[in-house]
Amino acid sequence: MFKWLFWKKGKPSKEIDVYAPVSGKILSLEEVPDPVFSEKMMGDGMAVEPIDGRVVAPFDGDIMQIFPTKHAVGIKAANGAEILIHVGLETVSMKGEGFESHVSQGDKVKKGDLLITFDLNLIREKANSTITPIIVTNGDMIENIAKKENDIVTAGEEVLLTVTVK
């Protein structure tokens, strides 16, 4: 119960840097052509228009959920922030075609670990968009989300968001 008092590491920081999980052009959520994301119904965050077919872990954490269609993954940080990475728009209708998951629910991952690979051209052909929202889904626990002002990000290298829990 009080183990954090005796450990050198102490309690987890209230703040976590969320690195870009995909490489590409940054977009605000308001620019996402889907009201579920643009109106922040699932939560706040940012989006990236990917330039390749790789999703990597945006921080060290635990895989909370990998969708059966492999188009989305939920990951939880040590500070309690929960992030959803949703590859493309209306990609659930692809029923997993063109997606491969490299993790399972309950897995522990390190920043930069490969989570999902996907066929970018197939998504362009069969879905509404390749735009990938990155959403903080437990907004009730969040004190602040600082959004970075980059144009282009490289997966696992640039910070996209800094999330502070209450």
Q: Which residues are catalytic?
A: 86
d(CA 160, CA 153): 8
**Residue-wise DSSP of 98-130:** TEEE---TT-EE-TT-EEEEE-HHHHHHHSSB-
Tokens, residue 28 = 């605000």
d(CA 129, CA 126): 9
